Amino acid sequence: MSRLHGVLSFGLGSLVVWCLSAPALGTEAGDPLFDSHELLAVKLAGPLRSLARDRSDEPEERDGRLSFTDSDGTLVEVPVKLSPRGKSRRSRQVCSFPPLSLELPKKEMSGTLFDHQKNLKLVTYCKTQDRYQQYLLKEYLAYRIFNLLTDDSLRVRLLQIEYVDEDRGDKTLIRLGFVIEHFKRFAKRVGVTRAKPITIPREQLEPAQASLVELFEYLIGNVDFSLVSGPTGDDCCHNAKLFQTADDLMLPVPYDFDMTGFVDPPYGSPNAQLKQRNIRERIYRGHCRAGDYHQNAIARAREMRQPIERLIRDQAGLDDKNREQALSYVEAFYDVLNDPQKLQEDILGACRYPD
């Protein structure tokens, strides 16, 4: 597949973005959207101002149109349903434009790049300033890093989106975004079943995956998650979903990595309850468990150090400052892993026992 070049014009300069086509980990025939990491150019038209201003608990679903050039060069345009989603990023104080849910017409998507994609989560630009593109790219990289650690992870596809706001005379704006694999497609690909308990005992977690998730969250500096319970009134879990395996264990799959030290957005704030000094301070939130699960997770992370660092170095569109910050943050993680005293103090000896 050829290299795709896209020029994104911003107010203070321009960003030239390209991504090489590469097979996604664990891909299943039938989901071509995630079969490649090549940047995909799309156009999204609709009442965008109305979507941005809808801060209600049950936001209205609005009509829009999605356009893209298919793999055979055909221009495809289909009607879609758009609605704002998320929590913190729907706050006016955090983002001027919210993440979106896309409902696509399954029949019209058949045979296209969006084959089998009925519902997708779209991570958008949050604010129009250039620096928010950098935060988005780092959040995208967090998903890609977890893809490197395990196939039991949500796949993502980076997009160059031309937004057309029908509320403002078809005013256009071009920004990066990315879509996230739907939980149902993940479950089908991996061979598990979506589970929605309120809470679970930590012993019910699939131990190898749970240990890897907890170490990954420490790698990216995330303390805003739970693998055993969700927010009041919601099912389990917090910034993670559970999937039941064939042996009745719960496979945790994390998502939503913007409020992390790796991304380090301006709206991030330290966790006062954990006495976190700043959002970049790592605090291990893993559970203690018998066996070699922690050591196996650590071995996997060590094994993937070079691919992770190469992923960051090769990410087009990431500016030098943010690239160096991301690499430095990852390097500090491996400094802990490779120092026996720090490893014991910060990870192995910091795990949590049942209350």
Burial (CB count <10 Å: 0-12, 13-18, 19+), residue 225: buried
pLDDT of 1 > 50? The answer is no
Residue 237 near residue 230 (C-beta atoms within 8 A): yes
**Per-residue b/e over 166-183, b at no fewer than 16 CB within 10 Å?**
beeeeeebbbbbbbbbbb
SS3 169: coil
Q: What is the pLDDT of residues 265-287, one digit of tens each?
A: 999 999 999 999 999 999 999 99
What would the DSSP string read from start to end of 33-51?
GGS--S-EEEEEEE-HHHH
pLDDT of residue 89: 85
Tell me the residue type at 82.
Answer: L
The residues, ordered by sequence, that sit 6+ positions from 114 with a Cβ below 8 Å of its Cβ are 33, 68, 104
pLDDT of residue 86: 80
pLDDT of 204 > 60? The answer is yes
Question: CA 231 to CA 218: how far, in whole Å?
Answer: 21
The residues, ordered by sequence, that sit 6+ positions from 302 with a Cβ below 8 Å of its Cβ are 334, 337, 338
Compute φ and ψ for 307, nearest 5 degrees.
Answer: -60, -35
pLDDT of 6 > 60? The answer is no
pLDDT of residue 249: 98
Peptide bond into 236 cis (omega under 30): no
pLDDT of 14 > 70? The answer is no
Among the listed ranges 1-10, 23-32, 193-202, 279-288, which one has the minimum average pLDDT value? 1-10
pLDDT of residue 319: 98
Residue with tokens 């026992």: 353
Among the listed ranges 10-19, 87-96, 142-151, which one has the minimum average pLDDT value? 10-19
Beta bridge partners of 63: 81
Question: CA 244 to CA 247: how far, in whole Å?
Answer: 8
**Average of per-residue pLDDT across 238-255:** 97
pLDDT of 173 > 90? The answer is yes
Domain ranges of the chain: 4-185, 193-350
Residue 254 near residue 217 (C-beta atoms within 8 A): yes
**Average of per-residue pLDDT across 221-235:** 92
pLDDT top residue among 22 and 119: 119
When the pLDDT of each residue in the chain is averaged and rounded to a whole number, the result is: 91
Q: Model pTM?
A: 0.91
Q: What is the pLDDT of residues 82-112, one digit of tens each?
A: 999 987 788 877 899 999 999 999 899 999 9
Compute φ and ψ for 42, nearest 5 degrees.
Answer: -135, 165
Taking residue 90's Cβ as centre, other Cβ atoms within 10 Å add up to: 19
**Average of per-residue pLDDT across 27-36:** 77
Q: Which of the 8 DSSP states describes residue 89?
A: G
Split at pLDDT 50, 70, 90, the class of 147 is very high
Helical (H) or strand (E) element with 121: strand 119-123
Question: CA 237 to CA 60: how far, in whole Å?
Answer: 25
Split at pLDDT 50, 70, 90, the class of 27 is very low
| Percent of the chain at pLDDT exceeding 70 | 91
Find the DSSP H helices in the chain.
48-53, 106-109, 131-149, 183-190, 207-219, 293-303, 305-314, 320-337, 340-346
Compute φ and ψ for 57, nearest 5 degrees.
Answer: -65, -30
Q: Which of the 8 DSSP states describes residue 315?
A: -
pLDDT of 152 > 70? The answer is yes
CA dihedral of 197, 198, 202, 205, whole degrees rounded to 10 = 20
pLDDT of residue 30: 63
| Percent of the chain at pLDDT exceeding 90 | 85
pLDDT of residue 233: 79
Token pair, residue 82, equals: 């758009």
